[in-house]
Amino acid sequence: MPDVTPTVQLALLADYPQAITTIARWYYYQWGQTNPTSNLTGVEQDVAGYLQQTSAPLLVMAKTDKQLLGAAQLKIREMDIYPDREFWVGGVYVDEQARGKGIASLLVSDIIQRAKRAGIKKLHLQSEQLDGGIYTKLGFKPLETVIYNGHQVVVMEMTLG
């Protein structure tokens, strides 16, 4: 029997700006709605700031021909308590129906490769999954656990090339 699984493609938000609304909705309902100063319009404006092609801030999407599956960002200074840590992986989100298929790992791996091509030497991230989850498997090392914006997170780092 032929494989009918749709092929996952990676693309930049810069090439598909029509995805801004969907991604903003994902981010708002996953992380933003618990913040009383956040609203969907503000999250849309934030996501629209990720339209770069080759350097941060940029956003990579996973998609099929018919459906948006997930997103991840190459960010600049995500956590204000670390002003010296410039480049971050963030906004890693996979739509509920697409979870468990390796899409998050695919997205983060692509961000890592883009960061290397951009000459970035270190990447950071924060995760509420305190064991590091997929990020540990991809080579990120834990630095410390902190309370940030009311959540306990592990801050991780990867040295590139």
Homologous superfamily assigned to 9-159 = Gcn5-related N-acetyltransferase (GNAT) (3.40.630.30)
Contact by Cβ (8 Å): 61, 68: yes
In this prediction, residues 63-85 reach a mean pLDDT of: 95
Query: Using 50, 70 and 90 to split pLDDT, how confident is the model at 44?
Result: very high
Residue 4: pLDDT over 60: no
Residue 3: pLDDT over 60: no
Model pLDDT, residue 91: 95
Query: Using 50, 70 and 90 to split pLDDT, how confident is the model at 161?
Result: confident
pLDDT over 90, % of the chain: 86
Rounded CA-CA distance 114/103 in Å is: 17
Residue 147: pLDDT over 90: yes
Rounded CA-CA distance 133/139 in Å is: 11
Q: What type of residue is 61?
A: M
Contact by Cβ (8 Å): 93, 30: yes
CB burial of residue 5 (10 Å; 0-12, 13-18, 19+): exposed
Model pLDDT, residue 41: 92
Q: What type of residue is 31?
A: W
pTM (two decimals) = 0.92
